[in-house]
Amino acid sequence: MEKINASGLMAVDAESEAEAGGRLGICPYYKKERGGGQMNCEGATFRFPDRLARREYVYGFCAHPEGYKMCPLKIAMDHFYERKYAYHE
């Protein structure tokens, strides 16, 4: 079940995470989370201070149906691919 936590970010409980097979990424650049505070996306490897900090970020941005659109790295990656596949006249 989704809940909004004190910081206004969406939190997902362990049951929902398990139902999704532990992979909740919605952002197209999301790759995986490792134990502790590490998370990989196509644009960067993140090292958070602990698991809770990682979860707060991932569920507030990467796995959030709207939040991922506001991630500065997602916007930068979109621009990267726009440049990469731009047609030159």
Segment lying near ligand SF4 (by CB under 6 A), choices 3-11, 16-24, 47-55, 65-73: 65-73
Distances (CA, A) of 87 to 43, 59, 74, 81, 82: 23, 35, 22, 12, 9
Kindly state whether residue 41 participates in binding ligand SF4, applying the rule CB under 6 A. yes
Angle at 72 between CA 17 and CA 1, to 5 degrees: 20
Q: Is 59 in the site for ligand SF4 (CB under 6 A)?
A: no
Q: Are 77 and 43 in contact (CB under 8 A)?
A: yes
Q: Is 77 in the site for ligand SF4 (CB under 6 A)?
A: yes
Contact footprint for ligand SF4 (CB under 6 A): 27, 29-30, 41, 43, 61-62, 68, 71, 73-74, 77
